[in-house]
Amino acid sequence: MSKINVALYEPEIPQNTGNIARLCACCGASLYLVGKLGFSLSSKYTKRAGLDYWDSVDLHKVDNMEELYKLFPDSTFYYLTTKSHKLYTDIKYKDGDFLVFGPETRGLPDFYVKQDTAVTIPMKEGQRSLNLSNSVAITVYEVIRQNGL
């Protein structure tokens, strides 16, 4: 079994974060909310999307990515973006790796998507992007497929 870590960098839509929190609870993944949130965690929309799973989520709030790097210096961080040609399925995920996702309206800053560990989920040409909570589910379940729950 591999420990899965999901990091949402400056998430903007409470319903997506609630859905992702529920996914993390069901999969035993840790959820890290990084930077400024576009909503309050006490928002009725966030709570509603996460239903009664909030108590089961290993939830952490950190101020920035540098703080996360300091907390987990031995972890590999994979940055999900539409701007990479490396597929998320080409990675052999290890215990403690991080899947990092950017804000819904703008994605991760260029600094992150230019890293060697930037990966993408394939989709039809001409489409902008997948929904954030769907992207998290796709990649988390790839980690589970490789390593078990």
All domains in the chain, ordered by first residue: 5-147 (3.40.1280.10)
Helical pair 14-27 and 132-147, crossing angle rounded to 10 deg: 10
Whether pTM exceeds 0.75: yes
Query: Per-residue pLDDT tens for 100-118?
Result: 999 999 999 999 999 999 9
Q: What's the start-to-end Cα distance of the chain, in Å?
A: 6
pLDDT tens-digit series, residues 11-35: 999 889 989 999 999 999 999 999 9
